[in-house]
Amino acid sequence: MPTLIARNLKSLEKALSSQRIKKKKIGLVPTMGAIHDGHLALVDKCLKLSQVTVVTIFINPMQFNNKKDLKNYPTSIRKDISILTEKKVNIIFIPKIKDIYPSDFSTFIELKKFDNMLCGKNRNGHFSGVATVVLKLFCLINPRVAFFGEKDFQQLFIIKKLVRDLNLNIDVQAVKTVRDKSGLALSSRNRLLSKGEKNIASKVNIILREISLKNLKSIKSILKKTSKKLYSEGVKKVEYLEVRNEKSLESYTYGKLGNNHYRVFVAVKVGKVRLIDNLRLTK
């Protein structure tokens, strides 16, 4: 099947209905474009685990609380189409804003938990915007399986919760963070970094790796030192640096390690670019 490009709801429905009749297992990779190897890891897993791979490219205005950030978000639609076609994905869905949010659109997902911490703290409404668009894509595409990266761990957590809470029949698959040689987590936003800023961004992961489980007892002072180190390497702002339980997103408190897995979560500003990353601290 050659790659079909659907640029509106009608052509998406046309492309999908024949697959639905054949009862094919549909897999979804939602993206905002500016495709990189991190996205391609999601695509590869989707191609492996489903019979029809749908990749969506939609820069969702609802998840940006800053107009400048939305305006500056990198795009490369032509290149994205060519990369995804080469990968032999089945359908690329590139909706217009009015396809997703018609002028009378008025229904939003409200999160009662997990959106007031980490990335949600300073990005008001971000996860409500993410959950709303992802649910809308789930409704339009009706996938059996959907793929999200661990780099956006809180997003992955919230989508898994959304699927559980609403009893959606969708298997949410997590895909490990893809990093460049220096360890920098791949992100569309990396394109906005100058060479010097990229060097600084590369240090973030290296510094996070120095946090060791053995030292978790004195986590506050370790995070303080880590934060200082990040600033001394040229990071402009450490928005958050926290250790949390990966199953509950609860903060780490000494003595509560048990069999749980903990991750360190970070958001930094390098120049004007906001970057996030996380690492599992427990084996």
Residue count (the chain): 283
Nearer CB in complex with ligand PAF: 117/257: 117
Report the catalytic residues.
39
Query: To the nearest whole angstrom, how small is the minimum distance from the Cβ of residue 152 to ligand PAF?
Result: 5
* DSSP β-ladder status, 237-245 and 171-175: unpaired
Query: To the nearest whole angstrom, how small is the minimum distance from the Cβ of residue 26 to ligand PAF?
Result: 17
For residue 248, count CB atoms less than 10 angstroms from its CB and return exposed for 0-12, middle for 13-18, buried for 19 or more: exposed
Query: To the nearest whole angstrom, how small is the minimum distance from the Cβ of residue 263 to ligand PAF?
Result: 18
Nearer CB in complex with ligand PAF: 96/209: 96
Residue with tokens 């990040």: 230
Nearer CB in complex with ligand PAF: 61/271: 61
38 in Cβ contact with 177 (< 8 Å)? yes
15 in Cβ contact with 8 (< 8 Å)? no
Show the beta-strand stretches assigned E in the chain. Answer: 4-6, 26-31, 52-57, 91-93, 145-149, 171-175, 237-245, 262-270, 273-280
Residues that bind ligand PAF (CB under 6 A): 30-32, 60, 63, 130, 133-134, 152, 155
Nearer CB in complex with ligand PAF: 30/120: 30
Question: Is the alpha carbon torsion for 210, 254, 280, 119 positive or negative?
Answer: negative
93 in Cβ contact with 124 (< 8 Å)? no
60 in Cβ contact with 135 (< 8 Å)? no
Query: To the nearest whole angstrom, how small is the minimum distance from the Cβ of residue 30 to ligand PAF?
Result: 4
115 phi, psi to nearest 5 deg: -110, 5
CA dihedral 26, 31, 36, 42 (to 10 degrees): -30
Q: How far is CA 96 from the centre of its chain?
A: 21
Nearer CB in complex with ligand PAF: 96/224: 96
d(CA 66, CA 235): 21
Nearer CB in complex with ligand PAF: 123/203: 123
